[in-house]
Amino acid sequence: MAMSTEPLTAERILVATEEVLRRYGPAKATVVDVARQLGVSHGSVYRHFRTKAALREAVTERWLNRSTDLLRGIAARQDLESGVVLRLWLSELFQAKMHKAGDDPELFQTYEVLLRENSSVVEEHIAELVGQLTTIIRFGLERGEFTVPYESPAVSARAVFDATGRFHDPVYAAEWSRRSIVDDFGAVVDLLLQGLRKR
């Protein structure tokens, strides 16, 4: 328990929630545990998150969005050829997922449970990522660097996201420690880029 005179913010509650989830696991962690961790009453926590479900949803969203800002920065780059930007973006996504899975496997498993509980949060996250891919592809089309089989760049963005699922979908986390995985990733990205690039 850590008494503190800092104001109780949503962010502090979410940090404490992650710590509690890590310690007790997603099945046992309660709002009372989170309040105890912060040295406040559980009423104070409920003033920020009205239900336990809302708190779990918010902590899941925070976990998913941790790498989104960095990726958005890559998607917005206009100083590089679009194919290079796309490769950078896909590599960064894969790296971020690999680190999440490898650096703290217990926390990763905890979030696996939360992701199943919060499918709408997951869907929003995927929509955000596909939106970033759409930005990259649209810009590539505008500059005449890319060509796509459909008029809508969003359809091709979704196709790129689906085609690289093996390298970002957590169901494949167990395969990310295989030695061959980086070559497999490179082969898929090269084939997709060969498709997207105007020849």
- Based on the shown chain and the rule CB under 8 A, indicate whether residue 159 belongs to the binding site for a second copy: yes
Distance CA 125, CA 111 (A): 14
- Based on the shown chain and the rule CB under 8 A, indicate whether residue 149 belongs to the binding site for a second copy: yes
- Based on the shown chain and the rule CB under 8 A, indicate whether residue 117 belongs to the binding site for a second copy: no
- Based on the shown chain and the rule CB under 8 A, indicate whether residue 1 belongs to the binding site for a second copy: no
- Based on the shown chain and the rule CB under 8 A, indicate whether residue 15 belongs to the binding site for a second copy: no
- Based on the shown chain and the rule CB under 8 A, indicate whether residue 194 belongs to the binding site for a second copy: yes
- Based on the shown chain and the rule CB under 8 A, indicate whether residue 195 belongs to the binding site for a second copy: yes
* The total number of residues written for the chain in this structure: 199
Residue burial 154-191, b: 16+ Cβ < 10 Å; e: rest: eebbbbbbeebeebbebeebeebeeeebeeebeebbee
Binding test (CB under 8 A) with a second copy, winner from 117, 147, 177, 178: 147
Q: Is the CA virtual torsion 181, 67, 57, 42 positive or negative? A: positive
Binding site for a second copy (CB under 8 A): 147-150, 155-156, 158-160, 162-166, 171, 184, 187-188, 190-196, 199
